[in-house]
Amino acid sequence: MIEVLNLTKKYGNNVGINNISFKITQGEIVGLLGPNGAGKSTMMNLLTGYISKTSGKIMINGQNLTDNLYEIRFKIGYLPEQTPLYEELRVDEYLNFVYSFKKTSLSRQKHLEDICNRTGITDIRKRLIRNLSKGYKQRVGLAQALMGNPEILMLDEPTIGLDPLQIIEIRNMIKKLSCTVILSSHILSEVQEICERVIVINEGSIIADNNISQLQADDQTGLQIRVMGDREEVLQQLSALDGVLEIECVGEIEPGSLDYTLHCDRDVRKEIFNRLAEITSPALMIKPIDLTLEQVFIKLTKTK
């Protein structure tokens, strides 16, 4: 389990991470979301002990990261944003180096074979890393992170720069992993596809921490309603309601009624229902518009 308590990282007077706390349980796949410069990579670097914190605590499986840095690093596999590869080495030479460097206790030959199979690089083991495509380089980087079968895997933008087919392959590979995964990305569809839960960071602070469907459900500010009644009156009455920012008639979907979309700054479903009842224009349907993760993300990062 990863437990982060009041974590702060300052660079001089600038705050990179501002008093962040969260918990990640074993086996969870968590997405770390945020716009560029939000603090995702700083967070990753703090969690791996690559950079030191200014204050706060990082506990991994009950152990303090600062006090047990090298012991804990055995349990962590890390793929930074720029894949750390020695381009002059062959894939086999590189993986053998990583195997020894991480002091892996598993059988060398079997473990390397297993990792190469899992990441699909068995056929390129003898090739120079310099000559590999970006997709294969990323796979080698992932193989590096998987060395020693870590309990926690941290992946910083693992599909950046890949073509769509390679992205699908890498995503499928990640989904098959059985360890705790923290995936940093600003590609929301990727997070939506791979992760169960997202932590949204903006300007160094957490602005949302929930599972994706809950995040979408929590947002009741976009509504679709179906009303029987005079179009002009409905528009006039509902736009006058406190909390309604915008209303638009989208047309007749069900005979005898009109559909409207509303953008509100809070949950106004009760008020809408009551007002429509007052003007005897029955509401046949009031439902939140399911926002995409993109829309949720934009709202969160803009409003907070």
Binding stretches for other proteins (CB under 8 A): 45, 48-52, 70-71, 73-74, 76, 78, 80, 82-89, 93, 97-98, 100-103, 144
Report in angstroms how near the CB of residue 111 gets to other proteins at its nearest: 15
C-beta of 103 vs 175, nearer to other proteins: 103
CB of 109 to other proteins, least distance (A): 17
Smallest separation (angstroms) from other proteins to the CB of 48: 4
Which of residues 1 and 89 has its CB atom nearest to other proteins in the complex?
89
Residue with smaller CB distance to other proteins, 2 or 247: 2
Least CB distance to other proteins at residue 178 (A): 22
Residues contacting 195, CB < 8 A, separation 6+: 29, 30, 31, 181, 183, 212
Considering the complex, what minimum distance in angstroms separates the CB of residue 94 from other proteins?
A: 9
What b/e readout covers 7-37, taking b as 16+ CB neighbours within 10 angstroms?
bbbeeeeebbbbebebebeeebbbbbbbeee
Three-state SS for 172? Answer: helix
CB of 171 to other proteins, least distance (A): 23
| Closest CB to other proteins among residues 70, 255 | 70
Query: What's the start-to-end Cα distance of the chain, in Å?
Result: 28
Judging by DSSP bridges, how do beta strands 29-33 and 205-211 pair with one another? Answer: unpaired
Amino acid (1-letter code) at residue 166 = Q
The DSSP code for 128 is B
Cα–Cα dist 75/253, whole Å = 56
Nearer residue to other proteins within complex by CB, 126 or 176: 126
Residue 153's Cα: distance from chain center in Å? 14
Q: How far is CA 117 from CA 75, 109, 120, 123, 124, in A?
A: 21, 12, 5, 9, 11
Note whether 196 and 27 are within 8 A (CB). no
In whole angstroms, give the CA distance from residue 233 to residue 149: 65
| CB 81, min distance to other proteins, A | 8
Nearer CB in complex with other proteins: 92/193: 92
Q: Which of these, 47, 42, 46, lies nearest to 202 by C-alpha position?
A: 42
Nearer to other proteins, 88 or 196 (CB): 88
